[in-house]
Structure formats: structure tokens, C-alpha cells
Amino acid sequence: MSRRRTELVALARLDVHEVLRSRWPVAVVLLYSALAALLVFAALRESNVLGFTGTGRVLLSFAHGLLLLLPLLALSATGQTLNRAREEGALELLFGHPVSPGGYYAAVTLVRYGLLLVPLAAILLALPAITWATLGDPIPWAYLGRALAIGAALLWAFTGLGMALSAYVTSQARAAILVLLVWAGAVALVDFALIAVMLQWRLHAGTAFFLAALNPVQCARMALISGQDPELATFGPVGFFLAQRFGAGGLFALGIGWPVVAGTLAWLAGRARFRRGDLV
């Protein structure tokens, strides 16, 4: 094994132990499960949600819930990573050994992202499996794959943002506030909220739609329903506008691609900041 890979594995293993003992993965699993259970037992009563029926309907509702939940979980898991380790003296101890800042940054990211994604994948698979076993509904594999890809992209977007936040903001307390602000901004500035802002500020429609498309949550939402006919009621104004321009395939590609690009850019910016500045 190369030295760089050895370093990555050693640091990732150490961080896995740190994270597992902190018990937030348990909280993540509980939140995913609670959301899934809520939708199975409550939302199923609705006969039709946005044109979806059966298991697809539950998955759609679940995925919509995840659009709100995943950014918060990813930001909470990462936004205070580096500043907390610095304040607690863990960085001082680790960097007294041959540990590269880039290696540490990558290892911590990998662990946090993995521990968010694996339970998500498990729940997303479990949900249709349960409805198939209990109700006999066929498993909507295509939609399942789409939801998983979108969830993974959205998680990466906010994992990257969170890591950048923890590299740029040295105070844990300030980072906690910023985590909430970023999350609130991301989930608020979609569709109608953005249109309201647009009207209030008399923004050009194209500008408002462009701003909306920059929001990974909005992108993910559009990708989620991109298999549908572009109806205003289903997509919302921003999604409808973009669906008309890009079509279903383009919307899906944008919904997956932009969160990945945004997360990667933020992650790289955070890594550059972490490597460049004081380590402790």
C-alpha cells in the first residue's frame, strides 16, 4: 500500500471510531427511519401524490422529505469537524505525526460522507422491499436508482460545503450558526419562496431562475421529478421554467451534476484553505 493510501486508511479508521462513539450515526439512522415510517403509515393514505402511485408515491414523498433532511445532516456532520478538532487539541496531536492536512481532510470527509450515505441507501432499499413484502407492490427500481443518485449528490454537495465551512470558520460556535443559516437558506430559497423574493426585489425572471438553479436543493428537487410531464403544479415555477428549457434528461443531469460540482468546488476550496493556513 502506498504511503498516501496507508495514511488515508489509518486516519479514516481513527475517525470512524471517533464518529461511531459520538453516536450521531445512530441519530442519522433514526431520523431516516422515522421519516420513512411516517410516510409509510401516514402518506400512503393519499391516493395520488404528484402523479405517483403505490410504492413510487411513498418513495417520492420520502425523497422530498430527504431534500430537507439531507442538507442539515450533512452540514451538521461536517460543519464543525476541523474547528472542533482544532479546539480540542486533536489536530495538534495528529499533526505531531507524519499526517498531511490533505490526507486528514480527505479521510474525515470520506468517513462522514460514507456514514451518511450507507444508512440512506439501506433505508431507500428497505422501504420498497417492505411495501413489496406487505402490499405486493412491484419495486420501482428506476425511481429507486434515481432517488439514490440524487440523495448521494445532495449529500455530497452539503458535505463539501460543510467541510469548507469547518476549514474557513475557526470558531465552533460560529460554525454552528452558519450551518443553520446555510441550511435554512438552501431549503427556503426554492420555488415559491424564491419567486416571492424575486417579486419583492423586482428581479428579472431569468436571474431568479438562475439563482434557483444554483441551489443544490432546488436542483435535486427538479431531478427527483424530472421523469414527470412538466406541469407547473408539479414542478413549481423554477422547475417548470427549467424543464421547458432542458427537458427531462437535462433536468436530471443538472440535478445530479450541479450538486456534485458545487460540493466538489466547496470541498476543494476548504482543502486549499486548510492546507494553506495554520494547522492548529
Partner 1 sequence: MQIETRGLIRRFGSVVALAGVDLTIPSGLRIGLVGPNGSGKSTLLRVLMGLLEHEGEVRVGGFDPRRQRLELARQLAYVPQIAPALAASVTELARAVEALRDLDLAELRTRAEALGLRWSAIANVPLRALSGGMRQKLLVALALSARAGLLVLDEPTASLDAATRETFFHMFGELPATTTSILCSHRLDEMRHLVDHVVSLEEGHVRFDGPAANYLATRALSVIEVQLAAGADSGWLDDLGFAAGHAGWWRRTVAQREKVELLPRLAGMLDGRLVNLHVRDLESIAVDESREGS
Chain residues in the site for partner 1 (CB under 8 A): 6-7, 9-11, 13-14, 17-18, 21-22, 88-90, 92-93, 95-100, 277-280
Sign of CA dihedral 219, 224, 226, 228: negative
CA quadruple 68, 69, 72, 76: dihedral, nearest 10: 180
Nearest distance in Å: CB 69, partner 1: 25
All residues at 6 or more sequence positions from 64 whose CB lies less than 8 Å from its CB, including other chains: 221, 224
Distance separating alpha carbons of residues 258 and 43, to the nearest angstrom: 30
Select 11 or 59, whichever has its Cβ closest to partner 1.
11
Amino acid letter at 280? V
Nearest distance in Å: CB 19, partner 1: 8
Helices vs. strands in the chain: H and E counts, helices first: 12, 0
Residue 49 forms beta bridges with which residues?
Answer: 52
Residue with cell 431520523: 31
Select 89 or 185, whichever has its Cβ closest to partner 1.
89
Nearest distance in Å: CB 73, partner 1: 19
Select 87 or 137, whichever has its Cβ closest to partner 1.
87
Select 13 or 245, whichever has its Cβ closest to partner 1.
13
Nearest distance in Å: CB 85, partner 1: 8
Nearest distance in Å: CB 171, partner 1: 14
Select 17 or 174, whichever has its Cβ closest to partner 1.
17
Cα 6 to the chain's mean position, in Å? 28
